[in-house]
Amino acid sequence: MDMSTAILVRVDQAGNGDFKRIQDAIDAVPSNNSQLYFIWVKPGTYREKIVVPADKPFITLSGTQASDTIITWSDSGEIFDSATFTVLASDFVGRYLTIQNTFGTAGKAVALRVSGDRAAFYGCRILSYQDTLLDDAGKHYYSNCYIEGATDFIFGNAASLYERCHLHSLSTGNGSITAQHRDSESENTGFTFLGGKITGVGAAFLGRPWGTYSRVVYAFTYMSSVIVPQGWDDWQDPTKHRCYGPGADTSKRVQWSHRLSQEEAAPFLTKDMIGGRGWLRPAPTKFKRPSPTNIASVTDINN
């Protein structure tokens, strides 16, 4: 596949693109396509509940900056159903988008669910309160993203690297940033937070183990005083690297917390942890317009 060239599809609420709705643009990508599709979303607030189906790989969805390209919905209920934006396809890229669930503080309200393999997000804002980001399954990469929530707001069982991301806790006392769901020692999953920062409005735990073998690594991360001294919550189940800032003081950490040696930490500190060198792709440099043979329902454009 030519990774330098993509088919360009434009979304513009004002009607100056190929589609007015993001979901319509995604639906127009042929099933099982073998070409890159670059869906360029013009600034605006898109009130849509979006799904990228499993049979539509190699899609990039891009705004110009996250602050003015907003995808929003308000829903609650089961974690797999409430998401504003759901990615089931492999090889998806999201760029410069705000993805939010505005349901509020009363229940589970996922903003982004990522269940496809080899997904990457750059410069995105992901916002909710409880269960903001369902980092469900597959190998994922998040770069320079802002992720906000209060309770288990990054959770799931993916193998994910969060590089230079800003985590902002809305918790006022007992919320956890992460709830990682690794159930077996043989599973090569877990979350690594590398070179980012943690801020918040009250107090928060670094995480709690949703799975028996839950694995979360913070390395070279600035931790503000929002992080409680004990650091971690064991979810009332006792069976279950160098960072800095007032929240990184480990002198009062729970006894079962483990500080990794350089040798132990090394496998988690590069993109090799997610096999990223083999699938992370640069942004395309050349674009071509869709033809009737490589976009579905062309007659519906702008309807």
Residue carrying the six token digits 């190998």: 139
Q: Give Cα 227 to chain centroid, integer Å.
A: 22
User: What is the C-alpha to C-alpha distance for residues 37 and 34, in angstroms, rounded to an integer?
Assistant: 9
Identity (one letter) of the amino acid at 50? I
SS3 at position 48: coil
Tokens of 261: 């040696």
CA distances from 153 to 13, 19, 20, 276 (A): 30, 32, 31, 24
Question: Judging by beta carbons within 10 Å of its beta carbon (0-12, 13-18, 19+), is residue 39 exposed, middle or buried?
Answer: buried
Q: Does 152 participate in catalysis according to the annotation? A: yes
Residue 169: name the closest of 211, 130, 122 by CA. Answer: 130
Q: Which residues pair with 30 in a beta bridge?
A: none
Residue 93: name the closest of 52, 42, 48, 135 by CA. Answer: 52
Among the listed residues 18, 152, 183, 233, the single catalytic one is 152
SS3 at position 98: strand
Q: Active-site residue numbers?
A: 152
